[in-house]
């Protein structure tokens, strides 16, 4: 019996990785049960509309007890095949989000999961009419719980710059950037990003997107690690926050203006950062007077 149970469990895992999630699939969010509705006009699987990653709106999910989603993020563990240029959803796909019951009841966080795929008898293999069967291979478009490669970083930055019609492929190329030439490479940026993200649990696509978007903006599209302005606006008497941020003498503004790909500004902020990285003594000896 144990051997048979193990085989059945293994079979279920295989099916979850092969079965497409389609219109009418049964879903759950914590203890709330409901149905998945495909709202896009797409090719069908077993006569029903095929689910893809664009189906992530509140009307896509109807719960029997009146529970309703409030916000949704991005689908996880989706397939590698596409329907109308969008990746297909699988029975194993999940969608994190927040929802609540009607009335004065606190919201719940969790993730939408498929109980069934919506397919008749849930066959071991899928013959999707109008939709290719997803292959069982690593999804290169998902960055959850894996390191970036150097090519990943190049592709991401290239895409971002193309939207702004920036032609250069160089990193930290602006004249005011104080990085050494050996640190202005995609290899070094990739190493630092992977190391930092592991350390601080930036381990999902959504977290990584937020960090890359913020750092891309703050560093002038990965063009510099030093604020362009002189920093005089941060001198005491020139800024309302100067005293609170420990700027007490003329010159503190330029000395502690924005630095790094997140543009940390102010003496108090940089002191906390360098004390965290190098220790208090290193801050006192090396950075306080520079």
* Structure confidence by residue, pLDDT tens digits, 146-190: 899 999 999 999 998 988 888 889 999 999 998 999 999 999 999
Domain match, 211 and 264 both: no
Last residue of a domain, one of 158, 188, 218: 218
pLDDT digits (tens, 9 = 90+) for 213-269: 899 999 999 999 999 999 999 999 999 999 999 999 999 999 999 999 999 999 999
Q: Are 81 and 52 in contact (CB under 8 A)?
A: no
Q: Rounded mean pLDDT of 100-129?
A: 77
Task: Please give the residue that has the higher pLDDT: either 129 or 177.
Answer: 177
The rounded distance, in Å, linking the Cα atoms of 67 and 267 is 49
Domain match, 26 and 110 both: yes
Residue at 135 is within a domain: no
Domain match, 265 and 174 both: no
Q: What six digits make up the tokens of 176?
A: 């005011």
Domain that holds residue 264: 232-287
Considering its fold, how many domains does the chain have in total? Answer: 3
Please state which of the ranges 114-123, 190-199, 209-218, 238-247 shows the lowest mean pLDDT. 114-123
What is the predicted pLDDT for the residue at 143? 83
Last residue of a domain, one of 63, 93, 114: 114
Is pTM beyond 0.75? Reply is: no
Q: Are 253 and 235 in contact (CB under 8 A)?
A: yes
Domain match, 179 and 203 both: yes
Domain match, 68 and 38 both: yes
Residue at 65 is within a domain: yes
Residue at 136 is within a domain: no
Distances (CA, A) of 45 to 24, 130, 131: 12, 7, 7
pLDDT digits (tens, 9 = 90+) for 7-34: 544 444 444 456 899 999 999 999 999 9
Residue at 214 is within a domain: yes
Please state which of the ranges 56-60, 69-73, 210-214 shows the lowest mean pLDDT. 210-214
Average pLDDT over the chain, rounded to whole? 84
Residue at 88 is within a domain: yes
Domain match, 31 and 95 both: yes
Domain match, 109 and 50 both: yes
User: 186-199 and 205-218 are packed helices; what angle lies between their axes, rounded to 10 degrees?
Assistant: 130
Domain match, 81 and 35 both: yes
Domain match, 210 and 242 both: no
């Amino acid at each position: 019996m144990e051997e048979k149970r193990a085989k059945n469990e293994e079979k279920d895992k295989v099916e979850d990785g092969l079965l497409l999630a389609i219109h009418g699939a049964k879903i759950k969010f914590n203890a709330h049960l409901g149905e998945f509705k495909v709202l896009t006009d797409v090719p069908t699987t077993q006569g029903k509309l095929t689910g893809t990653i664009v189906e992530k709106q509140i009307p896509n999910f109807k719960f029997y007890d009146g529970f309703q989603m409030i916000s949704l993020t991005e689908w996880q563990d989706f397939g590698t095949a596409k329907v109308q240029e969008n990746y297909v959803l699988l029975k194993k796909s999940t969608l994190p989000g927040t929802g609540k019951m009607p009335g004065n009841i606190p919201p719940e966080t969790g993730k939408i999961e498929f109980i069934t795929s919506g397919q008749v008898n849930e066959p071991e293999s899928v013959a999707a009419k109008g939709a290719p069967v997803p292959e069982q291979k690593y999804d290169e478009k998902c960055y959850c719980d894996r390191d970036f490669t150097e090519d990943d970083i190049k592709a991401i930055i290239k895409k971002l710059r193309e939207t702004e019609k920036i032609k250069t492929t160089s990193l930290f190329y602006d004249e005011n950037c104080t990085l050494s030439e050996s640190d202005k490479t995609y290899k070094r940026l990739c190493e630092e990003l992977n190391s930092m993200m592991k350390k601080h649990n930036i381990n999902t696509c959504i977290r990584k997107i937020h960090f890359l978007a913020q750092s891309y903006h703050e560093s002038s599209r990965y063009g510099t690690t030093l604020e362009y302005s002189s920093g005089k606006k941060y001198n005491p008497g020139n800024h309302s926050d100067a005293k609170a941020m420990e700027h007490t003498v003329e010159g503190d503004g330029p000395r502690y203006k924005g630095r790094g790909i997140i543009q940390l500004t102010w003496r108090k902020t940089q002191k906390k950062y360098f004390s965290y990285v190098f220790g208090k003594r290193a801050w006192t000896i090396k950075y306080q007077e520079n």
